[in-house]
Amino acid sequence: MPREELKVSIIVKGNKILLGVQATDCDPKMTTLQGNLQTALVRIPSFIEEANREWDASPHNPRSTVPEPIMPVMTATPSASKVSAVKPGQPAQQNFF
């Protein structure tokens, strides 16, 4: 089903092209191509048709199922609680340059 409003983005860098299309209430679709601006312009109609078919089936990409990272348990050690004193005449942080 064609969408009423579409946003088409074309980024050309050298002979590489990023072609993107977005519709209201749908996740954007993107692809990369080799060529020039003329290559991108020729590809737009078929790319929009593909995007419309995908949006008809599922307007949003599936949610990520990446597991939450496991945070390591930090334990205090006697040496971690010591604070080193800065000697007079020395900078608080060592210069490396």
At residue 90, the pLDDT reads 63
Task: Tell which phi-psi region holds residue 84, choosing left (phi > 0), alpha (psi between -120 and 50) or beta.
Answer: beta
Q: Quick check: is 26 in a domain?
A: yes
Q: Quick check: is 32 in a domain?
A: yes
Domain enclosing residue 24, as ranges: 6-57
Alpha-carbon distances, residue 90 vs 68, 82, 83, 97 (angstroms): 44, 19, 16, 16
Amino acid at 35: G
Q: Quick check: is 16 in a domain?
A: yes
Q: Which residues contact 34 (CB under 8 A, 6 or more apart)?
A: 15, 16, 17
Q: How many domains does the chain have?
A: 1
Q: Quick check: is 42 in a domain?
A: yes
10-residue mean pLDDT profile of the chain (97 residues): values are 91 96 95 95 96 93 81 67 58 59
